[in-house]
Amino acid sequence: MPTLIERRDPLTQAQGVERGYAQTARRWPAQPLARRPHTAAELSGPPPVARLLPVQEGDLAGHGARRAIGQLIRLRVRVVDEDGAPLPGTVLEAWHCNAAGKYIHPNDSHDAPVDPNFYGAARMLAGDDGVAELRTIKPGAYPVPDTHGWWRPPHIHFSVWGRVWLSRLVTQMFFPGEPLNEADAILNAIRDPGARGRCIASLAPSATSEMLFDYQVVVRGRAGTPGLP
Ligand SMILES: [Fe+2]
């Protein structure tokens, strides 16, 4: 019998469409979700995601002449279940803008420079301890088009795959102590302050030239990490 897992507390999740942010209307369902259990075929295949998607070394910062511009950081991302147990072998994807706040995307109209040494996306595999490491540069803030002054705080988008294709959590990680966190419509669409806090990485001691941050993703359960578009 499958384990019965408590549903997420709605207060710990984003509240869907945000006023003044037209794009969220296209990213959230217009109707309430209908709950449907996965079928045996969905749960038994295809084979583990890690065998179908190539994973890379988690390094977006580069080295030497190919080094991206920006503050070097290292993230330790720990993926756990509802009991805090690590989930080894989880495939994670991360993407973010460069240090000037520019994405490598044709729809990014922000007037900020592209960094030729910054690619901006990585796919990683969590080890036996459920931890995947990403070395990168700290992303910049950027203005959200047509909002008259809303700037997104520095953040990193994450996609976390479950055992099968149907199971995927897409969320965003924020940095501690950022003034723009207080007014960000996406982060504050999560009404519960504790749940918001779980979306913010914590600074860890680092003896190297790279700032070190810890971030934990809880893939399910009542205190599960919110899905953020
Ligand atoms: Fe973003």
Please tell me the distance between residue 102's alpha carbon and the centre of ligand 1 in angstroms.
9
Q: What is the pLDDT of residue 4?
A: 62
3-state secondary structure of 123: strand
Q: Which of 18, 9, 42 is nearest to 144 (CA)?
A: 18
The one catalytic residue in 21, 74, 142, 196 is: 142
Q: Is it true that domain 3-28+37-223 has CATH number 2.60.130.10? A: yes
Taking only the tens of pLDDT, the chain with its 229 residues reads 455 666 777 788 887 767 767 777 777 778 887 888 878 877 776 667 777 788 888 999 999 999 999 999 999 999 999 999 999 999 999 999 999 999 998 889 899 999 999 989 999 999 999 999 999 999 999 999 888 889 999 999 999 998 777 789 999 999 999 999 999 989 998 989 999 999 999 999 999 999 999 999 999 888 899 998 7
- Catalytic annotation present for 157: yes
pTM to 2 decimal places? 0.90
Handedness of CA 15, 172, 155, 27 (dihedral sign): negative
Q: What is the pLDDT of residue 46?
A: 65
How many Å is the Cα radius of gyration of the chain?
18
Please tell me the distance between residue 24's alpha carbon and the centre of ligand 1 in angstroms.
12
Tell me the domain boundaries of the chain: 3-28+37-223
Residue 194 belongs to what H/E stretch? helix 193-197
The one catalytic residue in 74, 157, 196, 198 is: 157
Give the largest CA-CA distance in the chain: 55
State the DSSP code for 190. B
108: Cα separation from own chain's centroid: 19
Report the alpha-carbon distance of residue 14 to residue 35 in Å, rounded: 18
Q: What is the pLDDT of residue 1?
A: 47
Q: What is the pLDDT of residue 196?
A: 94
Residue 209 gets the label, from left (phi > 0), alpha (psi -120 to 50) or beta, of alpha
Residue 149 gets the label, from left (phi > 0), alpha (psi -120 to 50) or beta, of left
The one catalytic residue in 152, 196, 198, 220 is: 152
